[in-house]
Structure formats: C-alpha cells, structure tokens
Amino acid sequence: MTDVKDPTGQVWEVRRKTWWFPSNVFGLNDVLDVLLFVVLLPFWLGWPFWFLAKLLGVPWVIVIERGGETVATERVRGLRAANGRVKVITETLRSTGNYPPVDPDAGRWTELR
C-alpha cells in the first residue's frame, strides 16, 4: 500500500487488492473475531487455488482512493505489470495530482468512479 500526497495536499491511497473479502473486519472484539474466523475459514483454505489462479493469469485489482473514497479500480494481468502500474500511478499522482490515463494497448480493464 502506498500513500501519495499530490501538489494540492490531497492524500491518495494506491494498493493492490489481495483478497476478495473486506480486509478491515478484524478490528472488532474477540468473540466476533472467532465468529469471523469460522465463517472465513473456507476462504483461507481456498488460498492455494487463488494463488494458482493468479499464476495462471487472473488479473490483479489495483484500487485508487482519495480521501477514503474509491476513485478508480484497474485490473492488470501479471504481478510485475500490476506493480509497474502502481508505480506509474503513484508517480503521476505525486507530480501532477491527476489520475494517469490508461494505456488501452496494455490489456488493462479500468473502472472510473
């Protein structure tokens, strides 16, 4: 996860989403954590299949947020390409404060909100 401050002082967050369920649910009390553990156990047991799917080409999801609100999501195939895109986004946001345009020939899927 990378936090970037643009020239206007806005803080942007750029991260690669790793799991398909919310990642902020474990800040609750212990009873709820145990309940969530039991509910989420099948997802954790499924991680080898998720990892294999990523190796076989399922795209990584990059989430771009500003002020806690999602601005855009991108799907990029390949870990190196996803990490490279995160670098391009963070450098562009740091220097200009604008979301960088998507290269249509790069095989990415982008959803702007």
Which tokens sit at 59?
């795209």
CA 54 to CA 31: how far, in whole Å?
33
This prediction has a pTM of: 0.58
pLDDT digits (tens, 9 = 90+) for 28-66: 556 666 777 788 888 888 888 988 888 888 888 889 888
Total number of domains in the chain: 1
Contact 42, 62 (CB under 8 A): no
> What is the per-residue pLDDT across 85-101, written as a single tens digit (0 to 9) for each?
899 899 999 998 888 87
